[in-house]
């Protein structure tokens, strides 16, 4: 049977509209069951705390529970691989951190490609690190530290929580950009590295905000913070970039999903996360933990991840850093 032209065009237009209607319906109905946020670090860690805050805020507008699934190990690669292999339906998400960008180069034989296999959803928060020394160390500024290090090559130990962490590579970037000769000493976690600095057994650490109480109490001396902008904690401390032009480092957190997750689901999650980050209560909660809210589109978050992967890849290759 031959259809009249007008009827044919009407049916064709309806067929074209079906995918759009389907996408809208998917966004409106998602989620219909609990959502897992996989965290590649143990409970109580920075990524875990931020993920729990994010999940709590998402559960109310989306009407479903967001369950935190801690899968620590291999520098967070176990959790990332689990998400990369999950169905792309929006019900398994990844707490993305700077570690994922670093690991892309640090580990030679991963069973997944982070940039290819994880779709960026939304950034959530970021934080600066602190360049800290023992108060007895004979340097009160970054400039004085660099001068002392150059006058005493090989005699300064830089502690970190482990080889290849964001704190370690931030210190390596500092070493490379200043031309100083310091020795890296890895420990089993940042708290142990801070303890060793308090005891004077290492002379320098790039610390996260868990060190802030020691700094405020005068047990550690903060020489500088590593971020260039957007720092609400220790605002009176200079930045490393004030002394070493172009230097910037820090950590950041966000959510990712398996590749091919429907874009309407990604957009829905991004919208709700941005709304949460605009809430003064969320800003205050994050600020109390030493974080600054960091909202972005999925595309902008993906751009950040790509830039950070390239940046830290250069540092890892130049310093010949290998995972422990």
The whole-number average pLDDT for the span 85-106 is 97
Instruction: Please give the structure tokens belonging to residue 110.
Output: 């991963």
Say whether the peptide bond before residue 263 is cis (omega within 30 degrees of 0): no
Instruction: Please give the structure tokens belonging to residue 224.
Output: 């500088």
Mean pLDDT of the chain: 91
Give the pLDDT confidence score for residue 289 in this predicted structure.
86
Q: Let me know: does 179 contact 186? Beta carbons within 8 Å.
A: no
Give the pLDDT confidence score for residue 21 in this predicted structure.
45
Give the pLDDT confidence score for residue 212 in this predicted structure.
85
Q: Is 148 exposed, middle or buried (0-12, 13-18, 19+ CB in 10 A)?
A: middle
Q: Where are the domains of the chain?
A: 12-18+22-125+251-319, 130-242
Of 5-9, 33-37, 150-154, 216-220, which range is least confident? Answer: 5-9
The whole-number average pLDDT for the span 283-290 is 90
Q: Is 248 exposed, middle or buried (0-12, 13-18, 19+ CB in 10 A)?
A: middle
pTM of the model: 0.86
**Helical axes 280-288 vs 46-62, angle rounded to 10°:** 170
User: For residue 246, how many other CB atoms are within 10 A of its CB?
Assistant: 8
Per-residue model confidence as pLDDT tens digits over 149-158: 999 999 999 9
Whether 12-18+22-125+251-319 and 130-242 share one fold: the answer is yes
CATH number of 12-18+22-125+251-319: 3.40.190.150
Vertex 50: Cα angle to 48 and 56 (nearest 5)? 100
CATH number of 130-242: 3.40.190.10
Q: For residues 9 and 226, which has the higher predicted lDDT (pLDDT)?
A: 226
Per-residue model confidence as pLDDT tens digits over 162-215: 999 999 999 999 999 999 999 999 998 888 999 999 999 999 999 988 888 899
For residue 243, pLDDT beyond 90: yes
For residue 16, pLDDT beyond 60: no
Instruction: Please give the structure tokens belonging to residue 105.
Output: 């180069």
Percent of the chain with pLDDT over 70: 90
Q: How many whole angstroms separate alpha carbon 309 and alpha carbon 314?
A: 9
Give the pLDDT confidence score for residue 236 in this predicted structure.
87
Per-residue model confidence as pLDDT tens digits over 123-145: 999 999 999 999 999 999 999 99
Q: For residues 264 and 10, which has the higher predicted lDDT (pLDDT)?
A: 264
Of 15-19, 114-118, 238-242, 303-307, which range is least confident? Answer: 15-19
268, 266, 286: which is closest to 277 by C-alpha?
286
The whole-number average pLDDT for the span 64-90 is 97
Per-residue model confidence as pLDDT tens digits over 18-53: 554 445 555 678 999 999 999 999 998 889 999 999
């Amino acid at each position: 049977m031959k259809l009249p032209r007008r009827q044919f065009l009407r049916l064709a237009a309806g067929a074209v509209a079906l995918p759009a209607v389907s996408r809208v319906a998917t966004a409106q109905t998602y989620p219909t069951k609990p959502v897992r946020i996989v965290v590649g670090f143990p409970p109580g860690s920075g990524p875990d705390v931020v993920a729990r805050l994010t999940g709590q805020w998402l559960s109310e507008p989306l009407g479903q529970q967001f369950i935190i699934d801690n899968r620590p190990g291999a520098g967070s690669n176990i959790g990332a691989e689990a998400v990369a292999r999950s169905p792309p339906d929006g019900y398994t998400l990844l707490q993305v951190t700077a570690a994922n960008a670093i690991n892309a180069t640090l580990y030679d034989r991963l069973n997944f490609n982070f940039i290819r296999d994880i779709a960026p959803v939304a950034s959530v928060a970021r934080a600066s690190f602190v360049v800290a020394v023992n108060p007895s160390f004979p340097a009160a500024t970054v400039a004085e530290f660099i001068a002392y290090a150059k006058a005493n090559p090989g005699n300064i130990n830089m502690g970190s929580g482990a080889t290849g962490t964001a704190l370690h590579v931030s210190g390596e970037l500092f070493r490379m950009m200043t031309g100083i000769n310091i020795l890296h000493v890895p420990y089993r976690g940042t708290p142990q590295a801070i303890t060793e600095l308090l005891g004077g057994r290492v002379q320098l650490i790039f610390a996260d905000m868990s060190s802030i109480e020691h700094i405020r109490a005068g047990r550690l001396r903060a020489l500088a913070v590593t971020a260039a902008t957007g720092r609400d904690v220790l605002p009176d401390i200079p930045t490393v970039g004030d002394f070493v032009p172009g230097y910037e480092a820090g950590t950041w957190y966000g959510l990712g999903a398996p590749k091919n997750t429907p874009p309407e689901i990604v957009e829905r999650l991004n919208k709700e996360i941005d709304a949460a980050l605009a809430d003064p209560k969320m800003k205050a909660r994050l600020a109390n933990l030493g974080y600054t809210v960091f909202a972005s589109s999925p595309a902008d978050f993906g751009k950040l991840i790509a830039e950070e992967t390239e940046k830290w890849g250069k540092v890892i290759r130049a310093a010949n850093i290998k995972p422990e």
